Amino acid sequence: MSEEARHARSGLPAGLEMLPLLARGAALLGLPLALTFALRARQDWNPTFASPTFHFYVVSALALLSLATALMAAWVSVAARDVRLSLLTVGFLGIGAIMAVHGLATPGFLVEHGYHGTTAASAYFAHLVGAWMLGLSALGLPPRASAWLRSRLWLLLALAVALFGAYAALALGAPDLFQRLPVAGQPGSDVFTWTMLAVDVALLTLAAGRAAISHVLSRAAMPAAIGAAALFLLASQVTLQVTQPWTLAWWLYHFYLVLGMGTVVRAVVSEYLGGKPLGQIFRELVYEDVLAQVRQGLDDSVLALAAAAEARDRYTYEHVTRVAELSVLIGQAMGLPRLRLRALAQGAMLHDVGKLYISDLVLQKPDKLTPEEFEQIKRHPALGYELLMRLKGFEREALVVRHHHEWFDGSGYPDGLRGEEIPLEARIVAVADMYDALTTDRPYRPAYSHEQAMAIIEKESGTHLDPACVEAFRRALGEGRVLAFPASARGKKRLTAS
């Protein structure tokens, strides 16, 4: 094996892409908590500031931010029939409505001191509803429940509005009931509030992690904003749990909530002013289709190289786009994690980038290539590899580019690797590449049918192709996935396999 091949196979762990984002997440959570516990530990830094009026206006600002986000998300979720986004909408709506009650029940502002239970309970319930809805939107509902709800989203939102309205009426109209709840020093409050905190920590950590992965895949602003909001909500609830009312540290939980909701609103406004439609902004939060996330998040360098390929040869551009989509489907069938799928898609998009260095006379020759011309073609994996290794951050993609013409039996090029010596992503792309090449018209032959192409691929399994990747391709098609291809590829405008 050549030194270049050894270096390429080493690659970078997929998790490294997450490290900068994890560091920012740790700072977003760690700095607020450090400030909270520093103030709590030093009483001389933590004076009491009892201002019902200021409390009302701070909480009202938070409620308005949450409700504004909920209204925008509701419009998009119903129009798009998106269940996950509807769950997020309920979360924002719940935080806004319950915190509005929390503000209206501020003792000494509009009401008297009999509303302490309402105020305290509303603070905890707002965090609870926000955490559960963010967590459910990250996990998703069971398929049957999601399918049933998809056609009844207006009912879900109407029910949420009714429930939160009933909560407000009960909390403000019957405050004595809330005085007996296990919060604010009532019997059982420690067990109740600490249990609630533990559950919310798990849900918000899940939501923040899912948002981080979505952001890395799609490079969209909204998943990052939701992840930040989840972390601020977590910091807020911890602060609420460990501080005394009206102290400076206690005030911080309100500001952490405002920061969280403000981050989301800022992202929406920034993206909208940048020319992105409101529907697209919110749908970026809940991509269930990994392929859609990958398409959204392709690196600018990948797109630039793909554009260069398109300017040179329209067939090459369409070919690598289809190969990328097929490769992601195979990778999903093999259970690759989402971050690895993104590297796979980018490697597939770039697998023929070395052909930029090959003469047009050879690339577009309508007749069979001479042995000398075929030797020129065989240089493109190594040429593409050298190009990518000069670009920072494409080490894993370089694996695909260099080794997508290695054969499972070791008779491929450029390094003669065999079996599992060939990086998995390159073995996947080899299957997708062969299928697309067979089912596309070429100057020297018409396209094969899907059935003919699959028969050839089955024949090559174990010699040219990895049998596990071939089986995963068959499973991916067997799941009924619909692949939409550019109309210029005659004979394969649309393929539905069953």
Whole-number Å distance between alpha carbons of 407 and 411: 6
Q: Is the Cα torsion angle 18, 297, 75, 139 positive or negative in sign?
A: negative
Average pLDDT of the residues in 236-265:
94
Residue 210 shares a structural domain with residue 267: yes
DSSP 8-state assignment for residue 180: T
Average pLDDT of the residues in 201-229:
86
Residue 214 shares a structural domain with residue 87: yes
Average pLDDT of the residues in 312-327:
79
Residue 241 shares a structural domain with residue 334: no
Tokens 């992601």 map to which residue? 328
Closest CA to 212 of 188, 229, 190: 229
Higher pLDDT, 316 or 38: 38
Is residue 478 scored above 80 in pLDDT?
no
Q: Which residues of 195-223 are buried (b: 16+ CB within 10 A; e: fewer)?
A: ebbeebeebbbbbbbbbbbbbbbbbbbbb
Whole-number Å distance between alpha carbons of 70 and 67: 5
**pTM, entire model:** 0.71
Residue 344 shares a structural domain with residue 249: no
Whole-number Å distance between alpha carbons of 298 and 330: 18
Q: Which residues contact 431 (CB under 8 A, 6 or more apart)?
A: 326, 330, 457, 465, 466, 469, 470, 473
| Last residue of one domain, picked from the residues 283, 309, 328 | 283
Whole-number Å distance between alpha carbons of 228 and 124: 20
Amino acid type, 103: G
Higher pLDDT, 276 or 288: 276
Is residue 274 scored above 60 in pLDDT?
yes
pLDDT of residue 222: 85
For residue range 57-104, list pLDDT tens digits in order: 999 999 999 999 999 999 888 888 888 889 999 999 999 999 999 999
Higher pLDDT, 487 or 102: 102
Report H helices in 274-313: 278-283, 290-296, 300-312
Residue 267 shares a structural domain with residue 332: no
Residue 293 inside a domain? The answer is no
Over the chain, what is the mean pLDDT?
84
Residue 9 inside a domain? The answer is no
Residue 161 shares a structural domain with residue 79: yes
Residue 471 inside a domain? The answer is yes
Residue 84 shares a structural domain with residue 169: yes
Whole-number Å distance between alpha carbons of 454 and 328: 18
Residue 274 shares a structural domain with residue 331: no
Residue 240 inside a domain? The answer is yes
Is residue 282 scored above 50 in pLDDT?
yes
Residue 419 shares a structural domain with residue 304: yes
Whole-number Å distance between alpha carbons of 414 and 386: 13
Higher pLDDT, 272 or 480: 272
Residue 336 inside a domain? The answer is yes
DSSP 8-state assignment for residue 462: T
Residue 450 shares a structural domain with residue 403: yes
Q: Which pLDDT band holds residue 12 (cuts at 50, 70, 90)?
A: very low
The number of domains in the chain is 2
Residue 79 shares a structural domain with residue 228: yes
CATH number of the CATH domain containing 374: 1.10.3210.10
Q: Which pLDDT band holds residue 484 (cuts at 50, 70, 90)?
A: very low
Residue 487 inside a domain? The answer is yes
CATH number of the CATH domain containing 267: 1.20.1070
| Last residue of one domain, picked from the residues 248, 283, 318 | 283
Amino acid type, 152: R
Domain range for residue 207?
Answer: 14-283
pLDDT of residue 410: 93
Cβ neighbourhood burial of 352 (10 Å; 0-12, 13-18, 19+): buried
Residue 206 inside a domain? The answer is yes
Whole-number Å distance between alpha carbons of 357 and 385: 12
DSSP 315-371: HHHHHHHHHHHHHHHHHHHTT--HHHHHHHHHHHHTTTGGGGGS-HHHHT-SSPPPH
pLDDT of residue 350: 85
Residue 77 inside a domain? The answer is yes
Average pLDDT of the residues in 298-314:
66
CB 256 within 8 A of CB 237: no
pLDDT of residue 202: 94
CB 313 within 8 A of CB 363: yes
pLDDT of residue 291: 59
Beta pairing partners, 445? 442
Whole-number Å distance between alpha carbons of 4 and 361: 29
Whole-number Å distance between alpha carbons of 21 and 32: 17
CB 241 within 8 A of CB 212: no
| Last residue of one domain, picked from the residues 283, 318, 342 | 283
Q: What percent of the chain has pLDDT over 70?
A: 86
Residue 263 shares a structural domain with residue 150: yes
Q: Which pLDDT band holds residue 464 (cuts at 50, 70, 90)?
A: very high
pLDDT of residue 472: 94
